[in-house]
Amino acid sequence: MAKLLRSKILRFALVLTTLAAIGCGTPNRYNFNTAQATYNGLGTQFDYNVKLDLLFIIDTTSSMGYGQQNLSLQFATFIDYLQTNLYDFRIGVTTMDMGAGGAQGAFVGSPKIITATTSNLHQTFVNRMAQGTSSANPTQGLDALEKAISTPMLQSANFGWWRNDAMLAIIFLSDKNDMSVNLPQYYIDLLDSKKPFFTGGSRGWVATSIVANDLSQCSGDASAELGSNFMTVSSMSKGIVTSICAPDLVQGTNLIKNRVMEQLTQIHLFDAPEAGTIIVHNTADEVFTDPNNGWTYDPSGFTIFFHGASVPAAGSIVQIDYKPKK
């Protein structure tokens, strides 16, 4: 039977999602590794989720007071966005202090895990970012990451945060370079093993770095060091790198929010579409191709990415129609 048109309908919510396809074809798995696909002769059904596990790793050396305050105020708007749009998120916060008396990868504060149902969510998040500036130990953010997601820690101090079917977003905040034991590639490989690649080829994790990425911008911070090791990990996940020395973090945090949401809401198509045949609707409104506030297509993974104001909220219905290549 000839394939005339294929239609993909997704509900961005923690519910059964239906997918209708006109014509014949082999069923495909959506890019979230936990999406279970079944074929009923008419199309494919998916159990789809919008789970996001966020891990903030904070430098607590003496020059970091302003950076912590700046991050807390700007990122709180991102947390409000996730709550308003009904995304299922869990937040853990630890520090880069791996010395005696440091967090050593354990989550700090109470409650240990911040969710959409946390009482006084906005202020709780702001308070959690303020971890002090008393550490005299080396900055070991990547070692803290490894410890935070280790099996023993996830079964004890950090229990209840990690979900195998959630996307992992890591945010590093530091004005120092990382002094962890291993080279960055070790931690990249670790993350790839803990969060396998999506069907479309994207990583199941994204790391963003708020660091000294340009020392010429950090003239007011004599102790600033180029955060090259953090930047390496971020670049491998196509994450955002932004300057901790910026007057404010509004632009940087907006870029980070957009990158995380693009990764979380990407849609992997059944097969390659013919050029110019993709039509996207979010609920009743057509969404147009636009790298800032629309959608873009990555042919290497048959993947649709949403950007800016066009990122679907949880509960919205997204329909993608296209003509498959013969």
Which residues, other chains included, contact 84 with Cβ-Cβ below 8 Å and sequence gap of 6+? none
Q: pTM of the full predicted structure?
A: 0.82
The domain limits of the chain are 6-49+267-322, 51-263
pLDDT digits (tens, 9 = 90+) for 74-102: 888 889 888 888 889 999 999 999 999 99
pLDDT digits (tens, 9 = 90+) for 204-244: 899 999 999 999 888 888 889 999 999 999 999 999 999 99
Which residues, other chains included, contact 132 with Cβ-Cβ below 8 Å and sequence gap of 6+? 60
Q: What are phi and psi of 17, to 5 degrees?
A: -110, 135
Q: Does domain 51-263 have CATH number 3.40.50.720?
A: no
β-pairing, 16-20 with 43-47? antiparallel
Does residue 225 come out as left (phi exceeding 0), alpha (psi in the -120 to 50 range) or beta? beta
Cα–Cα nearest to 107, from 145, 68, 65: 145
pLDDT tens, residue order, the chain (326 aa): 334 566 655 655 422 222 333 333 332 333 333 333 333 333 333 334 588 999 999 999 999 988 888 888 888 888 988 888 888 999 999 999 999 999 999 999 999 999 999 999 989 999 999 999 999 999 999 999 999 999 999 999 999 999 998 999 999 999 999 999 999 999 999 999 999 887 767 788 999 999 999 998 888 888 899 999 999 999 999 999 999 988 777 888 888 888 888 888 888 887 888 889 998 888 778 999 999 999 999 998 888 999 999 988 877 778 888 888 87
Residue 221: how many other CB atoms lie within 10 Å: 17
